Amino acid sequence: MEHRIKSRFNDDILRKAMRRYGIAPESIHLLDGFESFIYEFEHADGEYVLRIGHSLRRSIPMIQGEVNWINYLAAGGGPAARAILSENNRLVELIDDGQGEYFLATAFVKARGRHPKRSEWTPRFFEAYGAMMGRMHALSRRYEPDPSTWRPQWDDPENLVEQFLPPSEAIALEK
């Protein structure tokens, strides 16, 4: 995780996120995270995951677009752990970091299951995996995202590596 984000996170930020989702202190546990702070927690109605990211990495519209997409997949029977509403009926909660930016809290239903073991990679497994991917593809063809929450595509010019390289190196990539 970026130091500039990690250094802004503190117990007060976590407590505010917990209040927004009605999480009891004894029911939350830190999980491993890479770009966000990830926790699991329990409510009487199930198990959930709380993700706390930062506006230095993702904007509100980007996170909103992500949860809209995930909830669309889940509503269509796709394999997705849907985002849940906060106590304020929001899918994305903003928490001021005290430095002019903010943390973005989102909670999801905890996905059931585990990573498959290599020994389970059988033809039947790959058929089921292919069927799941086909279902997601079929759902995605009908999805109409809200333009205000558009996320860049993997091949959008703003995501291309050339912008981060010195001009001499970017030219080398074209050859």
Residue 161: pLDDT above 70?
no
29 is written with which tokens? 């546990």
Beta-carbon contacts of 93 under 8 Å, excluding residues fewer than 6 positions away, are 17, 20, 21, 86, 104, 105, 106
Q: What is d(CA 109, CA 116) in angstroms, rounded to the nearest whole number?
A: 20
Question: For 83-96, how does the pLDDT look when each residue is reduced to its tens digit (9 = 90+)?
Answer: 999 999 999 999 99
pTM of the model: 0.81
Domain boundaries, the chain: 3-113+145-174
Q: What is d(CA 144, CA 150) in angstroms, rounded to the nearest whole number?
A: 10
Q: What is the DSSP string of 117-172?
A: PGGG--HHHHHHHHHHHHHHHHHHHH----GGG----TTSGGG-GGGGS-HHHHHH
Residue 157: pLDDT above 80?
no
Report, as an integer, the average pLDDT of 37-58: 93
Question: For 79-135, how does the pLDDT look when each residue is reduced to its tens digit (9 = 90+)?
Answer: 899 999 999 999 999 999 999 999 999 999 999 888 899 999 999 999 999 999 999
Of 168 and 67, more confident: 67
Cβ atoms of 9 and 52 closer than 8 Å: yes
Q: Is CATH 3.40.50.300 what the domain over 3-113+145-174 is classified as, yes or no?
A: no
